[in-house]
Amino acid sequence: MTPPRRCALALTLALALAFAVAGCAPLRAFLVPPDPHRPAKNVRKLALVDALVVAGAIHGRPGARAIAVRQGQILAVGLPADVTPLRGPETLVVKAPTAYVTPGLVDAHVHLEGAALLRDAADLRSVASPADLRAAVDRARPLAGDWLWGFGLSDVAWGELSQDDIDTACGETPCYLSRRDGHGGRLSSGLALRTSPLQQARISEARGRLAGELAREVWRSLPSPRLDRMRPLVQQVLDEMAATGIVEVHTMGESAALVHALRALEREGRLPVRVVVYLDAERPEAALLLEGRGLVRDTPRVRVAGVKLWLDGTLGGHSAALQLPYSDTPTSGELRYTDGVLRERIAEADRAGLQVALHAIGDRAVAQVARTLRNMVRSPTAPPVRIEHAQVVPPELREQLWGLAVECSVQPRHAGADAPFARARLGDDRLAWAYPALALAPVCSVRAGSDYPVAASDALADWRVMAATNPVELGGEATQGTVADLALAALTPGGTARGRPTVLEGRVADFVVWDRNPFAAAGARPTHVCVGGQVQAIVRP
């Protein structure tokens, strides 16, 4: 071997080791072309399979057109002639010669309970006057139970509607009216009287305009929806998500009521996707979970994975914690926890074998995560800490994430949704590197989600936003093809840490059968979704 070749090999190995230490897949894994299809050997000696899918193409597997599924795993991938001998009398066969198969998609950040309850809530997104509010509440009132929820107030409506406006619209029906970002709310006087004396005093001090932790405290104190009300609404939401190619959902800041609804659907065979649940860390059921009591953690399609904490607020509400003041106000937001308290909350979850998801939008909040983890000694088997949102992360702060056991959970479309106010909040200099999304992949494993119902669940739309990332942000080796594959990996169960996204033998059988290539043609729609080896046809109205 010549000296230059030895140097190149050493550099490659060093880069691979550095990425492994950092806990994220090396970008090189996305650059090496996949092996061309090789015919499977001795397939007739293999056991019969549960499902056989014959398509036109399989993403990342050049030449392969057929997939065999057995006992929840991918058994074989190859040409139809390679795998059809595995067919038995009970094998489910899907023949779609022009279809395109991709890995199953994941929405890694939703609020499932909120999305479900929104089905019979008042839609407040177009409310611009007291008359609009009355009309929206009247339309939803017949669906109200003990209280009525409204969602979607703009920042302007949240601030300008008077208490009389709200009480007139709600009448005798107790109302909780959420701001569009989900981090603020307004109460009818009737519902405010149901809160504790301390909360009533704080509500009065805030002049009825709830934000941040006060809004979450009041929301937690509301009566849980009845199971018979929650269950069909959750099923509607998940059926619609499955019809877009979703096989797994990560839902944040939830209650035990949602877990009970999910488990009921699972027992009935009506749960179309896997659901990974992170409980609201301040709820009593989360405290029981941390003590090893309460909810069963794992069933085949429902996993209670951990707890969620909020470190800061939102850019829109000037409550995200920034290292420098906002450009349009002299404040810089605030952190909810000291480093010591955050360290103990993470350690508590580690002892219970639970994952922590941390809402951290501002750079001061993300810096607190990095600083706290660097000052902790955690078990190598402790699950990585999830940083949810990570919207304001300057380049020098990204470097501080290198080597830490963290995952960055991003919402790619928030950059566009926040555009009306982001420049005013951050100014041009900070906005230039804000909303990094896939640009975080060199320093942490990236997962992508929608924040549904704040934004619609649309994994392909998230892929398109991330695939447009400038390769320069990912290093000299990156290409546009690398970026596209990284974007898809962020939307699969393992995130970008798992490497090239494709359908591989030995993995859990999660994949989507599309009527055409969704990355090359507009309007592609799934015809079948396979979740853990169970192939489900998509039925549309």
Q: Do 278 and 173 lie in a common domain?
A: no
DSSP notation for 195-257: S-HHHHHHHHHTTTEEEHHHHHHHHHHSPPPPHHHHHHHHHHHHHHHHTTTEEEEEEEEE-HH
* Helix (H) / strand (E) containing 539: none
Determine contact, residues 152/125, Cβ cutoff 8 Å: yes
- pLDDT surpasses 60 at 40: no
Residue 267 belongs to a domain: yes
Identify the CA nearest to 374 among candidates 392, 352, 393, 399: 399
What 3-state DSSP class applies to 528?
A: strand
Residue 3 belongs to a domain: no
Left (φ > 0), alpha (ψ -120 to 50) or beta: where does 350 sit? alpha
**pLDDT, tens digit (0-9, with 9 covering 90-100), for 104-128:** 999 999 999 999 988 888 989 899 9
Q: Do 386 and 527 lie in a common domain?
A: no
Give, in order, the Cα–Cα distances in Å from 302 to each of 43, 305, 476: 34, 9, 41
- pLDDT surpasses 80 at 12: no
Q: Do 72 and 200 lie in a common domain?
A: no
Residue 9 belongs to a domain: no
Strand partners, 93: 52
Cα dihedral: 117, 118, 119, 122 (round 10): 120
Residue 7 belongs to a domain: no
Determine contact, residues 459/483, Cβ cutoff 8 Å: no
State which residues form the domain around 156.
Answer: 114-221
As a whole number of Å, the end-to-end CA separation of the chain is 64
DSSP notation for 413-433: THHHHTHHHHHHHHHHHHHTT
Identify the CA nearest to 369 among candidates 392, 401, 415: 401
- pLDDT surpasses 60 at 35: no
Domain count within the chain: 3
Identify the CA nearest to 85 among candidates 39, 51, 48, 57: 48
* Helix (H) / strand (E) containing 398: helix 395-401
| Spatial distance between the Cα atoms of 122 and 370, rounded to a whole number of angstroms | 40
The CATH number of whichever domain residue 253 belongs to comes to 3.20.20.140
Q: Averaging pLDDT over each range in 46-60, 174-188, 202-216, 403-417, which range is the top one?
A: 403-417
Half-sphere exposure of 315 (CA within 13 A, CB side): 26
Residue 1 belongs to a domain: no
Determine contact, residues 22/403, Cβ cutoff 8 Å: yes
Q: Do 212 and 245 lie in a common domain?
A: no
| Spatial distance between the Cα atoms of 258 and 224, rounded to a whole number of angstroms | 9
Determine contact, residues 243/526, Cβ cutoff 8 Å: yes
379-405 average pLDDT score: 97
pLDDT at 142: 62
- pLDDT surpasses 50 at 130: yes
| Spatial distance between the Cα atoms of 485 and 33, rounded to a whole number of angstroms | 11
| Spatial distance between the Cα atoms of 136 and 141, rounded to a whole number of angstroms | 9
Residue 30 belongs to a domain: yes
Q: Do 298 and 151 lie in a common domain?
A: no
Strand partners, 175: 148
| Spatial distance between the Cα atoms of 73 and 62, rounded to a whole number of angstroms | 20
pLDDT at 376: 97
Q: Do 336 and 352 lie in a common domain?
A: yes
Record the tokens describing residue 338, joined without a space. 């000291």
Largest CA distance in the chain: 84
- pLDDT surpasses 80 at 147: yes
Which is higher by pLDDT, 529 or 212?
529
Determine contact, residues 347/376, Cβ cutoff 8 Å: yes
Half-sphere exposure of 535 (CA within 13 A, CB side): 22
What 3-state DSSP class applies to 408?
A: strand
Residue 309 belongs to a domain: yes
| Spatial distance between the Cα atoms of 388 and 408, rounded to a whole number of angstroms | 6
Task: Output phi, psi for 32, to 5 deg.
Answer: -70, 125
Determine contact, residues 373/356, Cβ cutoff 8 Å: no
pLDDT at 46: 47
**pLDDT, tens digit (0-9, with 9 covering 90-100), for 321-367:** 999 999 999 999 999 999 999 999 999 999 999 999 999 999 999 99
**pLDDT, tens digit (0-9, with 9 covering 90-100), for 368-390:** 999 999 999 999 999 999 999 99
pLDDT at 143: 61
pTM for this one?
Answer: 0.88
Percentage of residues of the chain with pLDDT beyond 90: 70
Model confidence band, residue 222 (pLDDT cutoffs 50, 70, 90): confident
| Spatial distance between the Cα atoms of 110 and 275, rounded to a whole number of angstroms | 10
What 3-state DSSP class applies to 389?
A: strand
Determine contact, residues 100/460, Cβ cutoff 8 Å: no
Return the axis-axis angle of helices 197-205 and 212-221, rounded to nearest 10°. Answer: 140
511-516 average pLDDT score: 98
* Helix (H) / strand (E) containing 465: helix 459-467
Q: Do 491 and 511 lie in a common domain?
A: no
Q: Do 89 and 198 lie in a common domain?
A: no
Q: Do 204 and 245 lie in a common domain?
A: no
Q: For the chain, how many residues are written?
A: 541
Q: Do 165 and 207 lie in a common domain?
A: yes
- pLDDT surpasses 90 at 4: no
| Spatial distance between the Cα atoms of 294 and 307, rounded to a whole number of angstroms | 14
Record the tokens describing residue 340, joined without a space. 């010591």
**pLDDT, tens digit (0-9, with 9 covering 90-100), for 436-461:** 999 999 999 999 999 999 999 999 99
Record the tokens describing residue 39, joined without a space. 């015919």
Cα dihedral: 23, 27, 29, 32 (round 10): -170
Record the tokens describing residue 523, joined without a space. 């309007």
Return the axis-axis angle of helices 163-170 and 130-140, rounded to nearest 10°. Answer: 30
Pairing of strands 184-187, 209-211: antiparallel
The CATH number of whichever domain residue 58 belongs to comes to 2.30.40.10
pLDDT at 205: 86
Residue 385 belongs to a domain: yes
Q: Do 185 and 99 lie in a common domain?
A: no
- pLDDT surpasses 80 at 252: yes
Identify the CA nearest to 274 among candidates 539, 75, 534, 50: 534
What 3-state DSSP class applies to 53?
A: strand
The CATH number of whichever domain residue 155 belongs to comes to 3.10.310.70
Q: Do 169 and 236 lie in a common domain?
A: no
Place of tokens 């089905």: 119
